[in-house]
A and B are shown apart, each in its own frame.
Chain A
Amino acid sequence: MRLIQYAQAIREAHAQLLRSDPRVFVLGQGLWSPWYAGASLKDLDKEFTRERIIDSPVSENATTAAAVGAAMAGMRPIVFHPRMDFMLLAVDPIINQAANWSYLFGGQVGVPVLIRAVINRGGEQGAQHSQALQAMFMHVPGLKVVMPATPYDAKGLLIAAIQDGNPVMYIDDRWLYGELGEVPEEMYSVPIGRAAIRREGRDVTLVATSYMTMLSIKAAEILAERGIDAEVIDLRTIKPWDSDLVCASVRKTGRLVVADAAWECGGVAAEIAATVASKAFHHLTGPVVRVTLPDLPAPTSAPLEKAYYPETSDLVSAVENLLEVKKEAL
């Protein structure tokens, strides 16, 4: 099958949605710029006109709320936030409005809006250009939150999000934009709420979100050379997340490491750990381990950044330490 990059897969999903559904439009900052969205939205305005690809004023709140209103009025908007940090200026329309609307009115009006937030970090950008805030949105009833890790899912989940009919946060990490993967040319969707097993294994379950999936796959390869058979699960959707698949894996392996490149306290990894501890407690043969960012703002200076972001070696040692704990317990 054809191999394309993650960013191109996002662009292709946009183009196919725009071509096939007149209700779809894109609104947000940087859409006519050569650099804000990388290759992920390149030249869409030239193909689909600037009436449908609307580069907006610097108003995260009003543009996001306008997308919410347009969604209620029959459109299928995609709001683009080239940095998740700046999207915090739009939490009212996302959390108070879009998320609550269906419930508030007894399911009579849905909000079929896709809110795309880019995690855009590294390169000494610092604390306000680096945040991965998926846990905040995972917390909110009424939202769905997807975090594709592969080019295939980047396209399929974007299409699924537009077809879903509910507010979906689509969070993509720029560190994934160059990943190559198999992507069918036709339109297809990846079901929201389903995780995927990226590697089967017997000794330990590695559950990862987004970019950490790639590191987990690499870690599993290193662990295999050392005689440890890790199962890697790519969560893909973090709300509603696939607890059935994760718990089934833990029942098989007895050990769980959760990898999420965001803060530890109150994070996605904490939620998964708590759920597994309550649903599969008696199958666990060791403590649940989290590999996350430390509970600190992102630093700028390169050596500090290196200390801040988890790497493949951190996952490898987390698994090895966990297995050591097991041996000691025996």
Chain B
Amino acid sequence: MDRISTAVLREMYTHMLRIRRSEETIADLVETGEIRTPCHLCIGQEAVAVGVCSILNRDDYIWGGHRSHGHYLAKGGSLRDMMAEIFGKATGCSRGRGGSMHLIAKDIGILGTVPLVAATIPIAVGSALAAKMQGNGRVSISFFGDGATEEGHFHESLNLAAVYRLPIVFVCENNFYASHMQLMLRRAEDNIPKSAEAQGIPGFRIDGNDVVDVYRATRSAVARARAGEGPTLLECRTYRWRGHVGASWDMDVGVKRNDELRDWMPKDPLARLRSVLTHSGISDQEFNRIEEEVSAQVQEAVRFARESPYPDQSEVRNHVYCMEESKRS
């Protein structure tokens, strides 16, 4: 196995920590009631977003869903713009029309995340089709959860991408729950990568809590996509520590997860990467510096969001149609 440089690992650690601390802060603000938009936190799953996005170019596309704070930040989205959006402010990335579940950063290939389960999988196929027709070498990444693999969207999309050999990587974050429903209550076999085999494309099972594993698998899949060899499906097995939505841990509502959480928390992707970095010579002092830097960014984003104005009510009818596109015709 080739070595991944300490600089890259350190960068990935910083990204993952930024996602973790941002979401912990968001969780606190959900609990105090300052944040009201439904927030689906990815605490515990950060390695997937960061491992994948660390391979990508700025103009590659990523598509996400309801649980996409991590994807947005890992691709390089502005934490301030995201926080302001979650606060419902005019300065938010979606100008106060999206909230937590609709994030956009078009300059870095995030054309919109939406919460309709599986909806962005075939849309990602479309951006891959466009990239192929335009010959611009861009790769599309489709992030989705295990629940989305039960939608027709998913199977139709794998087929379309396979038959047209599109430059796309399907990244399933299998956290074993669709809302409150455990994976094995929803399917007969624990075999998500087999869907790829059925379409004649490669499918792999990855340890989604090992950012190095995710990084390496994505690197191969993206190289394959850029070479015109077509799509790949990656099942990244991970676990969300919090409940489906909001700050809760879901322990009190009969969704039986105590044992699972006890198993999964020691597999914390951040702790694992920290241990690798420690072996590579990163000192506690440096970890503290990263922690302080991230903490300052999160506090600054919250301050920015709090101080930003709400959208003016007179603007409620704007943007039903897109004027920018008309001008480009």
Which residues in A have some Cβ–Cβ distance to B below 8 Å? 25, 51-52, 56-57, 59, 61-75, 77, 92-93, 96-97, 100-112, 141-142, 144, 162-166
Q: B31-46 CB contact bits vs A (8 Å, 1 = yes)?
A: 0000000000000000
B56 at the interface (CB under 8 A from A): no
Q: What are the residues of chain B within 8 A of A25 when measuring CB–CB?
A: 133
CA of A179 to CA of B325, assembled, Å: 33
B52 at the interface (CB under 8 A from A): no
B156 at the interface (CB under 8 A from A): yes
B29 at the interface (CB under 8 A from A): no
Q: B129-147 CB contact bits vs A (8 Å, 1 = yes)?
A: 1110110000000000000
Query: Does B126 contact A142, Cβ atoms closer than 8 Å?
Result: no
Question: Looking at the complex, which one of B61, B116, B156 makes contact with A96 (CB distance below 8 Å)?
Answer: B116
Query: Does A164 contact B329, Cβ atoms closer than 8 Å?
Result: yes
Question: Looking at the complex, which one of A66, A102, A141 makes contact with B122 (CB distance below 8 Å)?
Answer: A66
What are the nearest 4 A-B pairs in CB distance? A69-B126, A110-B325, A106-B95, A165-B325
Provide the main secondary structure of the chain B interface: helix
Instruction: Pick the interface stretch among B9-17, B184-192, B205-213, B316-324.
Output: B316-324
CA of A109 to CA of B103, assembled, Å: 12
| Interchain residue pairs with CB less than 8 A apart (13) | A59-B156, A61-B156, A65-B157, A72-B112, A73-B126, A75-B130, A96-B119, A103-B97, A106-B97, A106-B98, A108-B324, A111-B322, A163-B326
Residue of B nearest to A74 (CB): B130
Which residues in B have some Cβ–Cβ distance to A below 8 Å? 61, 63, 93-98, 102, 104, 106, 111-112, 114, 116, 119-131, 133-134, 152-153, 156-157, 159-160, 163, 318-329
How far does the Cβ of B152 sit from chain A's closest Cβ, in whole Å?
A: 6
Q: What are the residues of chain B within 8 A of A52 when measuring CB–CB?
A: 133
Query: Does A166 contact B322, Cβ atoms closer than 8 Å?
Result: yes
Query: Does A65 contact B122, Cβ atoms closer than 8 Å?
Result: yes
How far does the Cβ of A74 sit from chain B's closest Cβ, in whole Å?
A: 6
Q: What are the residues of chain A within 8 A of B96 when measuring CB–CB?
A: 106
Given contacts A25-B133, A59-B156, contact A103 B122 (CB under 8 A): no
Query: Does A165 contact B328, Cβ atoms closer than 8 Å?
Result: yes
How far does the Cβ of B71 sit from chain A's closest Cβ, in whole Å?
A: 15
Query: Does A59 contact B159, Cβ atoms closer than 8 Å?
Result: yes
Given contacts A59-B156, A73-B126, contact A106 B94 (CB under 8 A): yes
Question: Looking at the complex, which one of A67, A92, A142 makes contact with B320 (CB distance below 8 Å)?
Answer: A142
Given contacts A105-B102, A165-B328, contact A69 B119 (CB under 8 A): no
Query: Does B325 contact A101, Cβ atoms closer than 8 Å?
Result: no
Most B CB contacts (10 A, CB to CB) among A57, A59, A69, A104 go to A69
CA of A166 to CA of B326, assembled, Å: 7
CA of A314 to CA of B208, assembled, Å: 66
Query: Does A102 contact B321, Cβ atoms closer than 8 Å?
Result: yes
CA of A158 to CA of B184, assembled, Å: 48
CA of A75 to CA of B125, assembled, Å: 13
Question: Looking at the complex, which one of A66, A92, A110 makes contact with B129 (CB distance below 8 Å)?
Answer: A66
Query: Does B125 contact A65, Cβ atoms closer than 8 Å?
Result: yes
Query: Does A67 contact B119, Cβ atoms closer than 8 Å?
Result: no
Query: Does B104 contact A108, Cβ atoms closer than 8 Å?
Result: yes
How far does the Cβ of B316 sit from chain A's closest Cβ, in whole Å?
A: 10
Q: What are the residues of chain A within 8 A of B318 when measuring CB–CB?
A: 107
